[in-house]
A and B are shown apart, each in its own frame.
Chain A
């Protein structure tokens, strides 16, 4: 075989068929889209913090990309997706370092490596989502330690519950699509929510959003409120940055939701359309609530509504019709707009509303499937509004509250462990000066001519000058 054959695949006797190659192309593109959501989230959150802590907020997202990607290859993918013998709780370590995977491995008309890439991006953003709850005050070293423990102990198992369909039966084509019964898979090898319970979660309303929202709540409860919370104005310092982040999230979310079909077909198409209309409806819903309650249509409200809609349609995009998606989005937009006020009443400082948007939005979307699911989209179950019984709603509730409970109490323990060992919070002085300067030795902006350089002196040891001859 000529070494100049185009690509290695041409020389591969186990090369997939055209369908497999088409699916793989779409999932690789989707993986890149989902990765882009995390920098998008960094801007969405970064613009919402005060100017003195925007870099720290952005760094929590970018550090998630660094940490989770490495752990994913070492053991994360294996814990989440290797066949389990634990009644669907977590996988084993047989695919650590991905060492049983080959370039030619194919599962359900998709190259494994594309699936590995795709699922990695989900793990990254789920961790990054939590950071919104702890703006301005969490020690960065504590965040790093939290990241490693949380992704390993909470996310990887929960991803297994929700996303691991199990080992396909030999000769059978497992239905990877939104199939609650997960027929075509060896029973006892997949996650309990997807394989045994049969709850519908197309793209991760439970594993990603409820999970991150509950974790954010637990972490911010242990961490405590920001200095000045509910006393001084903590308004977003850069709303245009928030809007850029929202745009990147929305764009990337098509990969997240439509890509979760794991095939390039009509199901991916309807998930795409549902994602768009639900997000649009939620944007409108949030703005309507704001106009009625506060008297103005705000930019932050439009951005928040869009994200609430994206969150809510995430579990539902593969099981409702486009008109059902409008209902999911509209309801989520309005409920989340009201839910973000809860923290001020109850006094917990979920700084950027991870609970109000992701936990509440995730619950709304996951539970509404019980009402709005339609066979026309998902192929096998109707919700209550489409003539079905309440059994699917029951399954949705079990899945939602199981993930919420595990994530909340698990995170609570992790947070307490860190609090009483290395400590969670930066000093009060550092918090007032700004976490960017205290933890990262940087500031995001040059505020005055003095801070821009005139007042700075070079530290001799910092950068020895190279003599150029």
Chain B
């Protein structure tokens, strides 16, 4: 099993979610995060004082998938999230040792 994590532009979340559901992904976790890569931040001005806002609002999406699906899921997310502009985000996957479904106690692939 693998955990696919993506950091995305917030306005692309809906596209990514739809693409993942079309692909057949059953569940996902979404959180609002802040950060920056090469995009850096932006500037805000309050009463003439400029503030460098270095962390930009992003959405973090996490999906647990079977090893066989991991590569495709990464691909689906990357394709749906792409605008070609700076700040599109990143997608990565890492191995997961074990998963438990809390309701039933099922473990491993059964729990996905």
* Residues in chain A within 8 A of chain B (CB atoms): 233, 235-236, 290, 293-296, 298, 300-301, 304, 337-338, 340-341, 344, 353, 356
Please name 7 further chain A to chain B contacts, defined as beta carbons within 8 Å, in addition to the given A233-B52, A235-B44, sorted by A numbering: A233-B44, A233-B51, A235-B51, A236-B46, A293-B48, A294-B45, A304-B47
Residues of B within 8 A of A293 (CB): 48
B54 (CB) vs chain A CBs: closest residue: A233
Q: Is B86 on the interface with A (CB-CB < 8 A)?
A: no
- The answer to whether A298 and B45 have CB atoms under 8 Å apart is yes
- The answer to whether B46 and A300 have CB atoms under 8 Å apart is yes
- The answer to whether B53 and A341 have CB atoms under 8 Å apart is no
6 A–B contacts from the bound complex (CB under 8 Å): A235-B46, A294-B45, A300-B47, A337-B48, A338-B48, A341-B49
Interface Cβ pair total, 8 Å cutoff: 33
Size bracket of the B interface: 10 to 19
B50 (CB) vs chain A CBs: closest residue: A294
Residues of A within 8 A of B45 (CB): 290, 294-296, 298
A213–chain B nearest beta-carbon distance, Å? 16
Residues of A within 8 A of B48 (CB): 290, 293-294, 337-338, 340-341
Q: Which residues of chain B from 17 to 60 have any CB-CB distance to chain A below 8 Å in the complex?
A: 44-53
CA distance A301 to B47 in the complex (A): 6
CA distance A14 to B101 in the complex (A): 85
- The answer to whether B47 and A340 have CB atoms under 8 Å apart is yes
- The answer to whether B47 and A353 have CB atoms under 8 Å apart is yes
CA distance A298 to B51 in the complex (A): 14
CA distance A296 to B52 in the complex (A): 16
Residues of B within 8 A of A235 (CB): 44, 46, 51
Residues of A within 8 A of B53 (CB): 233
CA distance A344 to B47 in the complex (A): 11
B44, B45, B48, B53 interface centre (most CB from chain A within 10 Å): B48
Residues of B within 8 A of A301 (CB): 47
CA distance A356 to B47 in the complex (A): 10
A294 (CB) vs chain B CBs: closest residue: B45
A290, A294, A300, A353 interface centre (most CB from chain B within 10 Å): A294
- The answer to whether A344 and B46 have CB atoms under 8 Å apart is no
A216–chain B nearest beta-carbon distance, Å? 15
B57–chain A nearest beta-carbon distance, Å? 14
CA distance A296 to B46 in the complex (A): 10
Residues of A within 8 A of B51 (CB): 233, 235
A233 (CB) vs chain B CBs: closest residue: B51
